[in-house]
Amino acid sequence: MTMLAAPSILAFDIFGTVVDWHGSIVGEMQTLHPQVDADAFALAWRAGYQPAMQRVRSGELGWTRIDILHRMILDELLPKFGLDHLGELERAELNRVWHRLDPWPDTVAGLTRLRTRFTICSLSNGNIGLLTNMAKRAGLPWDCILSAEVFRAYKPDPATYLGVADTFDVPPEGVMLVAAHQDDLAAARNCGLATAYIERPLEFGAANVKDVSPDAANTWHARDLVNLAELLGC
Amino acid sequence: MTMLAAPSILAFDIFGTVVDWHGSIVGEMQTLHPQVDADAFALAWRAGYQPAMQRVRSGELGWTRIDILHRMILDELLPKFGLDHLGELERAELNRVWHRLDPWPDTVAGLTRLRTRFTICSLSNGNIGLLTNMAKRAGLPWDCILSAEVFRAYKPDPATYLGVADTFDVPPEGVMLVAAHQDDLAAARNCGLATAYIERPLEFGAANVKDVSPDAANTWHARDLVNLAELLGC
């Protein structure tokens, strides 16, 4: 009989799980460009994300940071929303909105509690600089910022999930991925990690409420990060 | 005329600059193995560090974490100090002393003040897991943990100093290396970074007081990290 190690490391997906990308982008757009459909703009920007990473995964692009991918998507998007006139400085500043995403209301309290019993780190496809700027602004109390950039591979590549275990010199079951996305959790589970699903019904905005049904394959299912702290006895 | 960017990122050397490796190892050895000359043991372990990294730099060893190098040095050292009888568990536990190094008395207060005006990160040859465990135990308030492990190169390789600037998308002069070692600072300066020297006269113990004379080539010279915070107006 094999004794499984209880997780000592919690690795968190970021976009949608820890921070509200949709609400944050909508908020900035409504202030800066009130004539634009901010909901459609935010959704279109995010929709370009997986195809852009796929160009890296397929080898069409060499290793590329998310900051650069976000900017490529943005440049394609602006004409479609009547914003082709934005200059370089305005584009660069708008692209940095991904560094300024707001946490969900429960995030800082939940992470602070979880941190008392676990080592908590990010595991995001966002680059290290983006994640650091976000954490400093939002007060996210990470013990360590891990990113696809450290492993030179994007989730759901096994190199990312197993990379966390390797970084901390623990077996895969010593790490739990915390995410609001079942596909991310399934890939982690296939690598031997424990998994915790976080409900984020408003990830895509109030007009596009997300199905947050439990998947029994996950180790835990929590309403939010404070609830996860409660479930884990923190 | 080129405008130089003022540093917004402070990158800290760790062993000797932020934490007291000599005092911490001496303390553990005096408790665990009081018959051993703890001062000589600590110095010998640390003395193996540069030669071990040189085996990686030269290509004799592939990329190897400091945890593994520390263990290789330890295994060679134990017979010389009459500790050849230590078993695997005791060796692994002793090797983890590098994760348990104590900060200097000014470290946490200084970093906490510096963090209010700068993004502060480690830049150490220590591996990410070691640095994370150390920070969690000692309460080091990093915004981000950077390591030779991220750049797959050991200091003083330019890839490490320039890697910090690249990570945060700033020019080299946007980063300042903070270290108690003039050779580390000189290598950073050659890459265009600003530099701050920290006096750590007791790095090698009270029996081996270190010369902490200023080098005018550094941007700043500070007694300790609280003094650096004062000098930088934090």
CB pairs under 8 A between A and B: 48
Give a yes or no: residue B3 inside a domain: no
A202 plus A95 within the same structural domain: no
Q: Last residue of a domain, which of B64, B81, B99?
A: B99
Helix/strand/coil for B111: helix
Range of the domain at B117: 9-20+103-231
Alpha-carbon distance of A104 to A45, in angstroms, equals 20
A130 plus A221 within the same structural domain: yes
Q: Last residue of a domain, which of A47, A64, A99?
A: A99
Q: Give B149-172 pLDDT, tens digit per residue.
A: 999 999 999 999 999 999 999 999
Q: Please indicate whether, in this complex, the C-beta atoms of A143 and B128 are within 8 angstroms of each other.
A: no
Whole-number percent of chain A with pLDDT over 90: 96
Selection from A37, A35, A9, A38 nearest residue A23 by Cα: A38
Q: Please indicate whether, in this complex, the C-beta atoms of B121 and A133 are within 8 angstroms of each other.
A: no
Give a yes or no: residue A4 inside a domain: no
B48 plus B109 within the same structural domain: no
Asked if residue A184 lies in contact with residue A163, where contact means CB atoms within 8 angstroms, the answer is no
Which of B133, B145, B149 faces A145 most closely, judged by CB atoms?
Answer: B145
Q: Angle at CA B95, nearest 5°, toward B93 and B96?
A: 65
A147 plus A197 within the same structural domain: yes
Alpha-carbon distance of A217 to A223, in angstroms, equals 17
Residues of A in contact with B129 (CB under 8 A): 167-169
Residue A1 has pLDDT above 50, yes or no: no
Q: What is the pLDDT of residue A131?
A: 98
Interface test with A, best of B112, B123, B133, B145 (most A CBs within 10 A): B145
Give a yes or no: residue A91 inside a domain: yes
A14 plus A124 within the same structural domain: yes
How far does Cα A99 stand from its chain's mean position? 12
Q: Please indicate whether, in this complex, the C-beta atoms of B129 and A67 are within 8 angstroms of each other.
A: no
Which of B133, B135, B143 faces A132 most closely, judged by CB atoms?
Answer: B143
B53 plus B117 within the same structural domain: no
B25 plus B117 within the same structural domain: no
Q: Last residue of a domain, which of B30, B65, B99?
A: B99
Strand pairing category for A119-124 and A9-12: parallel
| A197 strand-pairing partners | A179, A221
Neighbouring residues of B127: CB distance < 8 A, sequence distance ≥ 6: A167, B65, B66, B67, B147, B148, B149
Order of strands, sheet of A175-179, starting from the edge strand that comes earlier in the sequence: A144-147, A119-124, A9-12, A175-179, A194-198, A220-222
Give a yes or no: residue A68 inside a domain: yes
A168 plus A94 within the same structural domain: no
Selection from A122, A68, A76 nearest residue A96 by Cα: A68
Q: Give A177-202 pLDDT, tens digit per residue.
A: 999 999 999 999 999 999 999 999 99
Residue A3 has pLDDT above 60, yes or no: no
Give a yes or no: residue A77 inside a domain: yes
Which of A119, A136, A146 faces B119 most closely, judged by CB atoms?
Answer: A136
Q: Please indicate whether, in this complex, the C-beta atoms of B144 and A145 are within 8 angstroms of each other.
A: yes
Judged on CB neighbours under 10 Å (0-12, 13-18, 19+), B5 is middle
Alpha-carbon distance of B62 to B100, in angstroms, equals 26
One-letter amino acid of B36: V
| Locus of tokens 């760790």 | B14
For position B122, which CATH number holds? Answer: 3.40.50.1000
Computed over its alpha carbons, how large is the radius of gyration of chain B?
18
Alpha-carbon distance of B168 to B36, in angstroms, equals 45
Give a yes or no: residue B224 inside a domain: yes
Give a yes or no: residue B2 inside a domain: no
Q: How many domains does chain A have?
A: 2
Strand pairing category for A220-222 and A194-198: parallel
Q: What is the pLDDT of residue B4?
A: 59
Residues of chain B with pLDDT under 70: 1-5
For position A30, which CATH number holds? Answer: 1.10.150.240
A195 plus A93 within the same structural domain: no
B115 plus B204 within the same structural domain: yes
Q: Averaged over A63-83, what is the pLDDT?
A: 96
Judged on CB neighbours under 10 Å (0-12, 13-18, 19+), B170 is middle
Give a yes or no: residue B187 inside a domain: yes
Q: What is the pLDDT of residue A6?
A: 87
Q: Give A117-172 pLDDT, tens digit per residue.
A: 999 999 999 999 999 999 999 999 999 999 999 999 999 999 999 999 999 999 99
At residue A165, what are phi and psi to the nearest 5 degrees?
-60, -45
Q: Over chain A, what is the mean pLDDT?
A: 96
Q: Give the alpha-carbon dihedral of B6, B12, B17, B23, to 10 degrees.
A: 160
Q: What is the pLDDT of residue A109?
A: 98
H or E stretch covering B92? helix B88-95
How far does Cα A49 stand from its chain's mean position? 12
Alpha-carbon distance of B113 to A5, in angstroms, equals 38
A118 plus A214 within the same structural domain: yes
Alpha-carbon distance of B92 to B56, in angstroms, equals 22
| Locus of tokens 């929709």 | A47
Which of B132, B144, B169 faces A119 most closely, judged by CB atoms?
Answer: B132
A59 plus A123 within the same structural domain: no
